[in-house]
Amino acid sequence: MLGDKLTFNPIASVLKSETNPIKRKHVEHSTESKSLFLLANKNFEQQFSKLYFNRIAELKPPLLKKLNKLFPNTTHAKTMLELTHGVTYSVVGTLYKEMKLKPNILRDFTMEKTMGEDSSEYDTLENCVSETDFLILEDSSGSRCNVVFENRDSELNKTMTNQLISGIIVGAVGKIDSHGTFIATDFVFNDPAPQRPLKVKEESYIAVISGINCGDSGFDYLRTQLAFDFLGGLLGDFNVQSGIVSKITRVIVAGNSVAAPTDKSTKFDVRGSLRPKDLQSIVGFMNSVDSLLEGLASTIDVDILPGAHDPSNVTIPQQPIHPCMLPKSSNLSTCHLVTNPHIFKEDSADVYVSSGQTIEGIERYVTSSRLEVMENTLKWGHYAPSAPDTLKCYPFETGDPFIIKQTPHIYICGNSKKFETKLCEFDNVKVRLVAVPAFTMEPTIALVNIKTLECHPVHFNLNVCKD
């Protein structure tokens, strides 16, 4: 069994010979990422309205059934235009959050061209929440209505406004006032998506490392190599290798394998592509990462997700990193270049992994913590409700692949500021939430037991070398 935290340093650990490889445990594996997120044809001519329409079309029917069950004596309004003063209604729609500090290209253009002011401060804010934010509910016909709890200045209204985000499908119960504002008494979300039974017979682990950021000022090659040696079975004594490492069935590299450009205004051209000089530096960083991954993938299955810094498309779902960027490791059958997000099944455990953008696209516009945001997405029934409002995404025409159809047993978010985990239990589902830190910020990887859903951080310490 593992303790709460495992720490390795290169002197106290024992390096094992490559001629005596450990015996890996193998389990059944399948993925849903290809069918959901891999784009066969990329067409950006269509509008995003279809994405919103498909979202509400799929999530509205079960939400109506839940509203009718919880509030059988309440009148349901099909559109906002049916609301009359003094009558309690239930209505289903898409939330929109009006935010003064949210980045706005029209405002930026106006400030720069007509007023001569710099608008960059709005784009660099870590959090865009302000006291002037308010909610709007839009039904499927396009009718809109402002929504408040109790009154505009109440603490309940401020709390709910600060926790919610644009793009959520919600059922609201309340009355319309004389000013045309919907005074809500309840907000209702869909029940969590069904969860398949967890039937893992033997103990095994998946390991997650994120934010290697090769080329960043905080990148430490020795520390990174130490982590890869541990995962590859080259580090630790017999008890560590036989009790832990041999039971790791898959390693997830959750995005940002290379560093972000320090000055995007000079490194990118008008199309958003890297300039030739900086493209060469990215290639050099990718070669270093390729060497690390080649050694790891020669011992275990590795799933490599792109991140915001990696050579992939900006919009989600990010498409797999091209094999030419990882020529050595991608030739191995155990190296899997996958999409971001990534959904797979390890044994009977359903796992969802994001490199972080889907959560960051919410976190910046609410006051909730990272784990709270992750839990809320499960309650909202959608992995990326803020797309396409505050998160760039592909304009899907025939559906919304980010709707949660099966609640995962393990929910992983990469490139976090620190390691956090929580076992979330509600409405007959149990989910292990894991926020994996960027390795350059906190040299920690996560080990998740797919049988018990326990999660343990493994920290790599070099301080002993400095003494």
pLDDT, tens only, 52-104: 999 999 999 999 999 999 999 899 998 888 888 889 999 999 999 998 888 87
* Beta strands across the sheet bearing 205-209: 6-8, 455-460, 444-449, 205-209, 248-254, 301-305, 335-337
Q: Tell me what the mean pLDDT of segment 273-289 comes to.
A: 68
Please give the single-letter amino acid code of residue 297.
A
Task: Judge whether residue 256 has pLDDT over 60.
Answer: yes
Instruction: pLDDT band for 279, please (50, 70, 90 cuts).
Output: low
Which position has the higher pLDDT, 400 or 235? 400
Q: What is the pLDDT of residues 201-241, one digit of tens each?
A: 889 999 999 999 998 888 999 999 999 999 988 877 667 77
SS3 373: helix
Confidence tier at 142 by pLDDT (50, 70, 90): confident
Looking at per-residue pLDDT, the higher value among 9 and 185 belongs to: 185
Residue 275 is predicted with a pLDDT of: 44
Beta pairing, strands 444-449 & 205-209: antiparallel
Q: What per-residue confidence (pLDDT) applies to 284?
A: 83
Question: Is the confidence at residue 11, as pLDDT, over 60?
Answer: no
**For position 319, what pLDDT does the model report?**
95
Q: Per-residue pLDDT averaged across 254-259, rounded?
A: 92
Model confidence at 466, in pLDDT bands (50, 70, 90)? very low
Residue 97 pLDDT? 93
d(CA 403, CA 384): 8
Residue 260, pLDDT > 80, answer no
- Judged against a pLDDT cut of 50, whether residue 12 lies above it is answered with no
Instruction: Tell me which residue of 257, 343, 324, 329 sits closest to 299, measured CA to CA.
Output: 329
Q: What is the pLDDT of residue 111?
A: 61
Relative orientation angle of helices 221-231 and 276-297, to the nearest 10 degrees: 30
**Binning pLDDT at 50, 70 and 90, where does residue 6 land?**
low
pTM of the complete model beyond 0.85: yes
Taking the C-alpha atoms of residue 413 and residue 4, their distance in angstroms, rounded to an integer, is 20
For position 315, what pLDDT does the model report? 92
* Mean pLDDT for the chain overall: 86
